[in-house]
Amino acid sequence: MSVALPPKAILFDVFGTCVDWRTSITRAGEALGQRLGLMDIDWAAFADAWRAQYQPQLTSVRSGARPWTRLEILNRESLDTVLTDFGLQQVSATERDAFNLAWRYLLPWPDTVAGLHRLKTRFIIAPNSNADIALAVGMAKFAHLPWDVILGAEVAQHYKPQPEVYLRSVAALGLTPPEVVMVAAHNEDLVAAGALGLQTAFIPRPLEHGPGQTNDLHPEHTFTYVARDLHELAAQLGA
């Protein structure tokens, strides 16, 4: 690992890597259920079902089947599908709009905020997420994620793991791929980044999908850095 050049910027996956979307969406569902008197709903299963709509929705944009559509709009459409699947058609449009905003109010992992602050002292830090700008800003304001700049899918008008997203983020910083590290808890994201010449850092988040998680528990490829959390990554990077 010591042969890697010192980077100038660190890009981060956000959902799962920086924030615990599953716990946060589960709690938002529980709050909604209490308020509306919805009984016997497994809100963790609801959160998983909502998230399971994510890749098919993104694929519809990636494939060109539909024009660029930002993630909050896709999430809102997915919510309708999942509410129907759970027999919750009675939830009003106003409640649905409010529930969809729960994706802006996601809890960071315990090391996230301090780790980002530490990395920010030495590097440019930015999300390179499929979240759109409004969603990413809302998440950052709520969770106190101290980004220097919001990059990612909306700036590139493409969704990860399409190469345009990584390359547009690197170019927007006036840098070259080897000057940038992509950080993620997901092997696929890092394989895509590494294939384009970016440095890569794997941070396991073994509870992202709850206690039964089976994927992305370990790095499955050779990455530039592997660290237990953002503190350990900061130490490896000399920050």
In the complex, which residues of this chain contact a second copy (CB under 8 A)? 72, 124, 132-137, 140-141, 147-151, 154-155, 172-175
Closest approach of Cβ 93 to a second copy, in Å?
A: 17
The reply to whether omega before 146 is within 30° of 0 (cis) is no
Considering the complex, state which of residue 64 and residue 174 has its C-beta at the smaller distance from a second copy: 174
| Nearer to a second copy among residue 148 and residue 229 (C-beta) | 148
Output phi, psi for 140, to 5 deg: -65, -40
191-215 as b/e: b if 16+ CB within 10 A: ebbbebebbbbbbbbeebbeeeeee
Q: Report the residue number, 175 or 196, with the smaller CB distance to a second copy.
A: 175
Q: Map residue 64 onto helix, strand or coil.
A: coil
Q: Considering the complex, what minimum distance in angstroms separates the CB of residue 83 from a second copy?
A: 22
State which residue, 134 or 217, has the beta carbon closest to a second copy. 134
> Is 225:235 a contact under the CB 8 Å cutoff?
no
Least distance from a second copy to the Cβ atom of residue 146, Å = 8
CA distances from 90 to 32, 47, 96, 99 (A): 12, 18, 10, 14
Q: Which is nearer to a second copy, 175 or 191 (CB)?
A: 175
Q: How far is the CB of 10 from a second copy (least distance, A)?
A: 13
Q: How far is the CB of 26 from a second copy (least distance, A)?
A: 24
Half-sphere exposure of residue 82: CA atoms within 13 angstroms, side-chain side: 25
